[in-house]
Structure 1
Amino acid sequence: MTEKQPRGLAKLVVLSRLMVWGRVLPPTRTPAEVGLTFEDVAFPSTDGLRLRGWFVPAAAARRPTIVFVHGWLWNRTGNVAGQVPFHDVDVDFLPITKTLHDAGYHVLLFDLAGHGESQPRPPLTYGPHEARDFAGAVAYLRTREDVDPGRIGVIGTSAGGNTAMYGIPQCQPIRALLAVQPTRVPRFNRRFARTEMGPLGPLAARSVDLLYLAMRAPLPSRHDPGVAAPLLGETVVQYVQGTGDPWGEMSIVEEFSRRTPRSLGVLTHPSTGRYEGYRYINERSDDVVAFFDQHV
């Protein structure tokens, strides 16, 4: 962040607000920066919220499509570093979008509710409610004559991976999911809160449940994409976890993999932090394309 970083109680307040309400960061770049034509699109989530995004068409019609589902505090372009009061790095969806486009895929990039230019739905639930946004995106794609409705793949990063896991059972068939560092919110929040807020951080993170209870939303302490994993059915899933992630846990992703009917296992990606792990999609872009070529 360009402004002075908050400390102590001020940081606790800022982080708690970000965890519950998020931060709207409209995109400032477009696929034109990597030489792609695109359409501005809008469609509803399954509970009626207006979502905004871009559809990047392949050279030929009636093609398979890859949907990007971004993480917490991101937008359809990925993550823009320096906008939050903790360590992060840029995670750019545009290069891998071009790679997929050049390989013959349509690509849909969109903002989840409460992010980018999409309508808010407080509080953030890191998957259970955002699954309605993913299902709305898939429903929109299946209205397009240039999209093969039975050949849709997904890239989900962090909370976007959670969202896809919760959402795919609602809109099958989805051929393949690349889930990059999905996690359970309670475990993530405890580690994140201790790193960023000190010894009292985990207690503050747990207390957020009271606010979610008042807002009649799924409790963070009960968040578990592992419950959705057995429901992924015929969707082929490749999990990815960074080796240097201080907040997520390899064991959790491995458990998700074991519970997924058609999992290819967990790939490890060398990283020095959590955000560096998301860079798998660009640093191993040939592998990403090969995964979708085989399974979509």
Structure 2
Amino acid sequence: MAAIVPPEKLAIIKAQADFWAHSMRSPIVRTPEEYGLKYEDISFPSYDQVALKGWFFPCEGSNKLIICNHPMPMNRYGYPGHLDEFKQLCDFEVNFLPEYKVLHDAGYNVLCYDQRNHGESEEGDGGVAGAGRHEWKDSVGVKRWVDKHPVYSKMTLGLMSRCMGANAQFEAISRYPELFDNVKCIVAPQPVTARYPAEAFCAQLGILDEIDVLEEEIRKLGGWTTTEMGPKPFVPKVHIPTLISQVHDDTWTKPEDVETIFELLGAEQKKLFWIEGTTRRFDGYNYFGEHPEEMLAWYAKYM
């Protein structure tokens, strides 16, 4: 017989379940103009016809293109953790625009987009998030759109796939390997099995003993359990040269998770780069915009 959960704990569990099942939309509060970047607004369909919105940063004279996606619950700009209403996950800003500027100035065209249920893109799957388990359809959609584009289709391709976006990208490649045959390399900051941050959140909230109840509540909302949200079943089929980065002492997860993802990765050319000196996961998302050397070296080697 299932244990009875006190009402005050059940309310916390339900709130956590809603986050995992539905994520949340965060606003785009900066523009490329702030960084001197010329850009075009773009839109295209996902694999299942969800309308996705993004930016394209042209780099004159370049035939190289990097396609970028983002973590949950962010968007193509980043995450406004410096605003009071978004401080529950981190109390500082994640901003991808400096990273786009670095890539642009290094000679790359850059395409970034909001995944379903995030940013300015449409709702998909009834609003249910999957930390990659639904969002792979966006990775397929953008690649098919690029392949049909009169200009982008002629470019040498690389990927910047972050966290949820990395999970999604790995599953997309596993499902449609031939679609990604011409991708030269991937940079994948912080892919994750959602069970690890779920356990960290539950411990902080005093509901770790009820984590199985959390999984049941996520299921009731139509979501994947946190154990099911992760890339490990899919990375063995990924043979594209891949650089994975991870905050080593990240309090949201444990090194063993990303180490296992890395070990399972099918690519012969692969590297795991540890980010040291912080325990804050979201510092890992700002890292390459501030310290681009590893990222630029990987793209330069394979593109």
Task: State the TM bucket, normalised to the shorter chain.
Answer: 0.7 to 0.9
Structure 2 match to 1:274: 281
1:168 offset after TM fit, Å? 2.6
Structure 1 match to 2:191: 182
Structure 1 match to 2:90: 87
Aligned match for 1:265, one of 268, 271, 279: 271
1:283 offset after TM fit, Å? 2.7
TM-score of the two chains, using structure 1 as the length reference:
0.88
Structure 1 match to 2:53: 52
Structure 2 match to 1:225: 231
Indicate if the aligned counterparts of 2:70 and 2:76 stay in contact, CA closer than 8 A.
Answer: yes
Q: Distance in 2 between matches of 1:56 and 1:150?
A: 14
Note the alpha carbon deviations across 1:118-176, whole angstroms, 9 max, x for none. 11122101112101011111122222333255622111222122112112332312221
1:10 offset after TM fit, Å? 5.6
Q: Distance in 2 between matches of 1:33 and 1:8?
A: 44
Structure 1 match to 2:291: 284
The residue identity in structure 2 corresponding to 1:70 is: H
Moved more, 93-102 or 156-165: 156-165
Note the alpha carbon deviations across 1:219-244, whole angstroms, 9 max, x for none. 433233111111112x1011111022
Structure 1 match to 2:180: 172
Q: Distance in 1 between matches of 2:153 and 2:296?
A: 18
Structure 1 match to 2:3: none
1:101 offset after TM fit, Å? 0.7
Q: Distance in 2 between matches of 1:228 and 1:20?
A: 21
Question: What's the % identity of the aligned pairs?
Answer: 25
Give the number of equivalent residue pairs: 285
Task: Report 1 or 2 for greater relative contact order, CA contacts < 8 Å, sequence distance ≥ 6.
Answer: 2
Q: State the SS of the aligned residue for 2:232.
A: helix
Report whether the alignment pairs 1:113 with 2:116: yes
Structure 1 match to 2:165: 160
Matches within 5 A, 1:34-49: 34-49=35-50
TM-score of the two chains, using structure 2 as the length reference:
0.86
State the Cα RMSD in Å.
2.2
Indicate if the aligned counterparts of 1:191 and 1:202 stay in contact, CA closer than 8 A.
Answer: no
1:73 offset after TM fit, Å? 1.1
Moved more, 185-194 or 43-52: 185-194
Structure 1 match to 2:101: 98
The runs of 5 or more residues in structure 2 that have no matched partner are 1-7
Structure 1 match to 2:75: 75
Report whether the alignment pairs 1:138 with 2:156: no
Q: Distance in 2 between matches of 1:201 and 1:274?
A: 24
The residue identity in structure 2 corresponding to 1:288 is: M
Q: Find runs of 4+ consecutive structure 1 residues off by over 6 angstroms.
A: none
